[in-house]
Amino acid sequence: MIEFRAVTKRFPDGTLAVTDLDLIIPPHQVTVFVGSSGSGKTTILRMINRMVDPTSGSVLIDDVDIATLEPVALRRSIGYVMQNSGLLPHRTVIDNIATVPLLDGVKRAEAHKRAYELMDVVGLERSLATRYPAQLSGGQQQRVGVARGLAADPNILLMDEPFGAVDPLVRAELQVELQRLQRELGKTVVFVTHDIDEAFLIGDQVVLFKPGGILAQAGPPAELLQHPADDFVTSFIDAGRPRSILR
């Protein structure tokens, strides 16, 4: 379980990115952060692995205040997948997947063995292992990103718009894949997206943010759809819904 307690983040330049946030992210479920650009989703996500530290308030993982944890170690224990995959362009696919085990000092052969298994898990042909990221398609890169996120077998997986940069067809495929994976692995997934459709599709819980990192509403998709907390929620959901009169 991840818990935000009265968390506020003000950047040095004065931007108030997160405002007094209280939020509980349940374990073994997919929680989706959604909101328009600049609403603080990424900032909040990054507080979980201490890429950003709160200005005030605290973040707890399983009741431990993470401010007391060593950031580098914490990060290695949490999977992180981002848009454009964030792969290391100078490392082969297999080395990219094995990044964290290798950092942790696991032997190369062993780390690679595990990485090959992960390639199967995320549906990548093993023959791609010695390619460089630039030699993969966008969808393949994202799969590598997910595999890397899973390599240290973390309990928590943070995903920041992981499918934001791929083709709609590939995107649909990856969404299905993610759902399958999650059924098998049961990680605590925090997933950021712009796309309300995507949020409703894959989220067990959806958290909608207003600009300034203000929580608009949090709950299962059905709740947001049937009982929107306010006009903002309604209009946000409407903007993302099909607008064609034909449906």
Partner 1 sequence: MNPYTGAIAWLLDPAHWTGDGSIPQRLTEHILYCLITLVIAMIIAIPAGLYIGHTGRGRAIVVPFTGALRALPTLGLVILLALWLGLGLIPPLIALVVLAIPPILAGAYAGVESVDPVTRDAATATGFTAWGVLTRVEVPLALPLIVGGIRSATLQVIATWTVAAYLPLGGLGRFLYDGLPVRNYAEMLGGSILVILLALVVDGLFALTQRFVTPKGVIAGRVRDVRTPTRSTQRKERTWFAPEA
Partner 2 sequence: MNWFAENWQQLLAYTAAHVGLSIPPIVVGFALSLPLGWLANRYRASRGILLSGAGILYAIPSLPLFVLLPSIIGTKILDPMNVEVALSLYALALMLRTTADGLAAVDGDVKLSATAVGYGAWRRFFGVELPLAGPVLLAGLRVVSVSTVSLVTIGSVIGVNSLGFYFLDGYQRDFPLEVWVGIVGTLIIALVFDGVLTLGGRLLMPWTTGRAARRAMRKVSMAAVNA
Instruction: Give every CB contact of residue 243 below 8 A, 6+ residues apart in sequence.
Output: none
State the nearest-atom distance from the C-beta of 196 to ligand ATP, in Å. 13
Our finding on whether 47 is near partner 1 (CB under 8 A) is no
Q: Which of 93, 206 has the CB closer to partner 2?
A: 93
State the nearest-atom distance from the C-beta of 214 to ligand ATP, in Å. 11
42 touches which of a second copy, Mg ion, partner 2, none (CB within 5 to 8 A by kind)? Mg ion
Q: Where are the beta strands (DSSP E) in the chain?
A: 2-10, 16-25, 30-35, 56-61, 64-65, 78-82, 156-160, 188-193, 205-210, 214-219
Backbone angles phi, psi at 93, to 5 degrees: -55, -50
Distance CA 8, CA 40 (A): 11
State the nearest-atom distance from the C-beta of 51 to a second copy, in Å. 24
Report the phi/psi class of residue 54: left, alpha or beta, with left for phi > 0 and alpha for psi in -120 to 50: beta
Q: Which span (19-27, 164-172, 181-189, 203-211) binds partner 1, by CB under 8 A?
A: 164-172
Binders of partner 1 among residues 5 to 44 (CB under 8 A) are 36-38, 42
194 touches which of partner 2, a second copy, Mg ion, none (CB within 5 to 8 A by kind)? a second copy
